[in-house]
């Protein structure tokens, strides 16, 4: 059995029922290979943790920023609770080494799928803390590990998605609205891959690759920001 004491110390949470924490990091794939595992997978805890996270972040933003519009608060909340942010926090906590995964999932360390697994585990851990310790402890954990990221998000406007950020900068600097063009697409219908170009007028600024046009546009915009040093 894995020892969770170091993780508990890092999170500053001493579980009364450590099985809740164990379940929070148990992926469905592990149970498929280990039907004798005595706990359920983490999806129900993830469902609960997602709701707890959303209401606590919403409440904190609502009371802290009393003059901020609903639209901005929505963007700020999204930047705090999206899978990339949660996966990054999970990596800071070293959650990866505690996960119960199938052999195939265990080997797949750097994929987007692993990042989603880590983000889901973070939500499940929040659900586990809520069940074991109550709302006050869940709120403390969220403040320390998630709300603490807000200053950096606001300072660097990370709440803007890359497409919005690139468009704002392009209009500010050049007075031009960027546009996107599909340069190529390949693969069968169920596994398409798109390459999209980002343009200012007729100038190709960057390219992005993705499994959908939207994903490729976001990648292109992100690369465009780097190319322009924005």
Average pLDDT over residues 23-32: 95
- Two tokens at 205? 């600024």
70 is catalytic: no
- Two tokens at 65? 């920023």
Give tens-digit pLDDT for 178-215.
Answer: 999 999 999 988 888 999 999 999 999 999 999 899 88
Q: What is the CATH number of the domain that holds 144?
A: 1.10.1520.10
Judgement on whether residues 114 and 18 belong to the same structural domain of the protein: yes
How far apart are the C-alpha atoms of 82 and 203, rounded to whole Å?
32
Would you say residue 108 has pLDDT above 80? no
CA dihedral 181, 184, 186, 190 (to 10 degrees): 0
How far apart are the C-alpha atoms of 2 and 197, rounded to whole Å?
47
- State the pLDDT confidence band at 144, using cuts at 50, 70 and 90: very high
Judgement on whether residues 150 and 166 belong to the same structural domain of the protein: no
Whole-number pLDDT of residue 27: 96
Average pLDDT over residues 37-54: 97
Whole-number pLDDT of residue 46: 97
Whole-number pLDDT of residue 1: 77
Would you say residue 71 has pLDDT above 90? no
Catalytic residue among 3, 8, 43, 123: 123
Higher-pLDDT residue of 52 and 230 is 52
Round the average pLDDT of the chain to a whole number and report it: 94
- Two tokens at 26? 């148990």
Judgement on whether residues 81 and 193 belong to the same structural domain of the protein: no
Is the alpha carbon torsion for 197, 199, 204, 208 positive or negative?
negative
Domain boundary residue, one of 155, 184, 216: 155
How far apart are the C-alpha atoms of 33 and 98, rounded to whole Å?
17
- State the pLDDT confidence band at 21, using cuts at 50, 70 and 90: very high
Domain boundary residue, one of 138, 155, 172: 155
Select from 119, 92, 127 the least CA-distant residue to 11.
92
How far apart are the C-alpha atoms of 225 and 38, rounded to whole Å?
48
**Structural domain count, the chain:** 2
Average pLDDT over residues 117-138: 97
Catalytic residue among 3, 12, 50, 202: 50
Would you say residue 223 has pLDDT above 80? yes
Whole-number pLDDT of residue 168: 86
How far apart are the C-alpha atoms of 72 and 104, rounded to whole Å?
40
Q: Are 90 and 118 in contact (CB under 8 A)?
A: yes
Judgement on whether residues 122 and 17 belong to the same structural domain of the protein: yes
How far apart are the C-alpha atoms of 197 and 216, rounded to whole Å?
9
Whole-number pLDDT of residue 59: 98
Q: Are 84 and 115 in contact (CB under 8 A)?
A: yes
- Name the 3-class secondary structure at 181: strand
- Two tokens at 130? 């809520």
Average pLDDT over residues 10-20: 97
Give me the sheet containing 193-200, strands edge to edge: 179-186, 193-200, 203-210
CA angle at residue 90 from 86 to 95, to 5 degrees?
150
Judgement on whether residues 131 and 65 belong to the same structural domain of the protein: yes
Select from 170, 138, 159 the least CA-distant residue to 50.
138
- Structural domain that includes position 24: 5-155
Domain boundary residue, one of 155, 182, 201: 155
50 is catalytic: yes
């Amino acid at each position: 059995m894995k020892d969770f004491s170091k993780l508990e110390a890092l999170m500053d949470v001493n579980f009364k029922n450590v099985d809740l924490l164990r379940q929070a990091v148990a992926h469905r794939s592990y149970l498929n290979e280990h039907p004798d595992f005595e706990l359920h997978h983490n999806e129900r805890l993830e469902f609960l943790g997602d709701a707890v996270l959303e209401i606590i972040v919403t409440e904190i933003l609502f009371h802290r920023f009393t003059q901020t519009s609903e639209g901005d608060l929505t963007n700020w909340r999204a930047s705090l609770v999206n899978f990339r942010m949660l996966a990054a926090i999970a990596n800071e906590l070293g959650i990866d080494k505690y996960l119960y995964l199938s052999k195939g999932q265990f080997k797949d360390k750097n994929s987007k799928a692993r990042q989603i697994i880590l983000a889901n585990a973070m939500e499940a851990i929040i659900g586990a803390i809520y069940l074991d310790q109550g709302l006050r402890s869940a709120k403390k954990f969220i403040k320390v590990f998630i709300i603490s990221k807000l200053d950096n998000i606001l300072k660097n406007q990370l709440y803007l998605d890359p497409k919005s950020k690139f468009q704002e900068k392009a209009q500010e600097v050049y007075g031009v609205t960027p546009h996107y063009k599909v340069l190529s697409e390949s693969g069968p219908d169920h596994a398409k891959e798109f390459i999209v170009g980002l343009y200012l007028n007729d100038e190709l600024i960057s390219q992005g690759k993705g499994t959908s046009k939207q994903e490729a546009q976001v990648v292109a915009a992100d690369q465009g920001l780097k190319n322009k040093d924005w």
